[in-house]
Amino acid sequence: MKEWIAGVDGCKGGWAVAYAPADDLPASEIKLFKTFEEILNRQPQFALIFIDIPIGLEQDKDRDCDKLAREKLHSRGSCVFPAPLRPALRAWEYDAYEEAKRLTRELGRGLNKQSHALFKKIQEVDQWMTPKLQDQVIETHPEIIFTVMNGTQALDNNKKTDLGRKERLDLLSPHFHGIKEKLQSRPKGIGRDDFLDAYACLLAAHQYRRGNFHRLPESPSRDAKGLKMEMVFPKFSKK
Q: pLDDT tens, position by position, for the chain (239 residues)?
A: 789 999 999 999 999 999 999 999 999 999 999 999 999 999 999 999 999 999 999 998 889 999 999 988 876 777 888 888 888 776 555 455 566 556 656 555 555 555 556 788 999 999 999 999 999 999 999 999 999 999 988 888 889 899 999 999 999 999 998 999 999 999 999 999 999 999 999 999 999 999 999 999 999 999 999 999 999 999 864 44
Q: What's the confidence (pLDDT) of residue 84?
A: 84
Q: What is the pTM of this model?
A: 0.90
DSSP 166: H
Please say whether the dihedral angle defined by the alpha carbons of residues 172, 141, 188 and 124, taken in this order, is positive or negative: positive
Which H helix or E strand runs over 117?
helix 113-117
Cα dist from 36 to 67, 80, 124, 125, 151, whole Å:
26, 21, 7, 6, 32
Amino acid in position 94? Y
Q: List 50's β-bridge partners, or say none.
A: 7, 138
Nearest C-alpha neighbor of 51 from the set 174, 197, 190 = 197
Q: Fold for domain 4-57+129-234?
A: Nucleotidyltransferase; domain 5 (3.30.420)
Q: How far apart are CA 19 and CA 14, in angstroms?
A: 16
Give the pLDDT score at 110.
54
pLDDT given for residue 29 in this prediction? 96
